[in-house]
Amino acid sequence: MSKSLIVYFSQSGTTAQVAQRIAAGLQTAGYQVDLCNMKDEQPPPVGNYQLLGIGSPVYYYRPPFNVTDYVKSLPSLNGLPAFVFMLHGTYRFDAGTAIRRILSHKGALDVGCFHCRGADLFVGYLKEGYLFSSGHPTTDELAHAEAFGGSVAAHVAGRPYVRPEDDRPPSMIYRLERFLTGRWLAKHIYSRLFRLDAKKCDACGLCVELCPTGNITQREGRRLVWGRNCLLCLTCELKCPKEAILSPASWSVFRPFMIYNVRSASRDPSIDYARVIYSDGSLRQA
Ligand SMILES: Cc1cc2nc3c(=O)[nH]c(=O)nc-3n(C[C@H](O)[C@H](O)[C@H](O)COP(=O)(O)O)c2cc1C
Ligand code: SF4
Ligand code: SF4
């Protein structure tokens, strides 16, 4: 039996849902599938597999740093068939293309790419009162994901595959946002500038537990320290039940970008959204 490995990163669960349905499609086509969420475990070596899938959310109009690093760290793939799937709340631009390009440089054989929307828990938008792509992935999108798994298996078996055109790159303003949330700034500047309100923090440890890179450590007493391995996923800020964390994304200098993004996405008829009230790490309908 052929074996497929699907490595994905899913912080709030939507990419995981799609990964499971693609796996179901592959299983129906006769594959044994191993699923690995990079958040929870180290991916196994790809050498034992006949098919590789990479799944990721879009963060700041590109793949998150950990996904890019993983794909770059793969050995030469020597014609191994590979597919990519991306979840996005508003605009994905060429985030999926970025992963497909690295895979292709590694010698992988492109056998498919899939994308759909996923509920966008970006804390900046939630603070503005908007949950974009609320309710996604939908039942239909999940059914498409399963069918995509079947079509990937068919392409590996020899059905002709027409590689879709590369996605378009972002326009100037989104490129600027991508630059401002780039790796150098994240590592050397922003990671030092998470602010903790010690009066509000009750040392519950939730932020430490939820950080996907183990970037927050709890020192003597209640002191929390942020390291340099930050994805800017903002889960720590989003989930803190005491609203004790303020990330650099909440700086007023970024507010005009937030307002621009919210205005553009909320006026785009292709994007669903719900009005929400975000407080104490949870959401309710406005
Ligand atoms: C920090 C952060 C940045 C995001 N940036 C983008 C983005 O640039 N474009 C987009 O379409 N969606 C963006 N999203 C939305 C996610 O890509 C989307 O909600 C995805 O479904 C989340 O996947 P997960 O549930 O598997 O973690 C962002 C979400 C977060 C938390
Ligand atoms: S989640 Fe909030 S309250 Fe809990 S330890 Fe982290 S900062 Fe403190
Ligand atoms: S420190 Fe916060 S923003 Fe950075 S990776 Fe961890 S949870 Fe995400």
User: Ligand 3 center to residue 240 CA distance, Å?
Assistant: 12
Task: Kindly indicate the confidence band of residue 223, based on its pLDDT and cuts at 50, 70 and 90.
Answer: confident
Asked if residue 134 has its Cβ within 6 Å of ligand 1, the reply is no
What is the 3 state secondary structure string of the chain? Answer: CCEEEEEECCCCCHHHHHHHHHHHHHHHCCCEEEEEECCCCCCCCHHHCCEEEEEEECECCECCHHHHHHHHHCCCCCCCEEEEEEEECCCCCCHHHHHHHHHHHCCCEEEEEEEEECCECCHHHHHCCEEECCCCCCHHHHHHHHHHHHHHHHHHCCCCCCCCCCCCCCCHHHHHHHHHCCHHHHHHCHHHCCEECCCCCCCCCHHHHHCCCCCEEECCCCCEEECCCCCCCCHHHHHCCCCCEECHHHCHHHHHHHHHHHHHHHCCCCCCEEEEEEECCEEEEC
Q: Which-ligand-closest: CA of 9?
A: 1
pLDDT of residue 164: 87
In this predicted structure, what is the pLDDT of residue 219?
A: 84
Please check the confidence at residue 208 and state whether its pLDDT lies above 80: yes
> Ligand 3 atom closest to Cα of 227?
1
Mutate which of 54, 58, 171, 231 for ligand 1 pocket (most atoms within 8 A of beta carbon): 58
- Which ligand 1 atom sits closest to the C-alpha of 249? 1
**Ligand 2 center–CA 116 separation, angstroms:** 32
Q: What pLDDT sits at residue 197?
A: 94
Whether the per-residue pLDDT at 220 is higher than 90: the answer is no
Question: pLDDT tens digits, residue range 138-179?
Answer: 999 999 999 999 999 999 999 999 888 889 999 999 999 999
259 pLDDT more than 90: yes
pLDDT digits (tens, 9 = 90+) for 32-75: 999 999 999 999 999 999 999 999 999 999 999 999 999 999 99
How far is the centre of ligand 2, averaged over its atoms, from the C-alpha of 205 (Å)? Answer: 6
**Edge-first strand listing for the sheet containing 32-37:** 32-37, 3-8, 51-57, 81-88, 109-117
Ligand 3 pocket by Cβ (under 6 Å): 211-213, 215-216, 226, 230-236
For the entire predicted model, the pTM comes to 0.96
Residue nearest to atom 1 of ligand 1 (CA): 233
Q: Residues near 59 by Cβ (< 8 Å), separated by ≥ 6?
A: 181, 231, 232, 233
Ligand nearest to the CA of 231: 3
Tens of pLDDT, residue by residue over 124-142, are 999 999 999 999 999 999 9
Mean pLDDT, all residues of the chain: 96
Contact 87, 58 (CB under 8 A): yes
- Strands 109-117 and 81-88 come out as parallel
Q: How confident is the model at residue 84 (pLDDT cuts 50, 70, 90)?
A: very high
Give the Å distance between the CA of 215 and the centre of ligand 3.
6
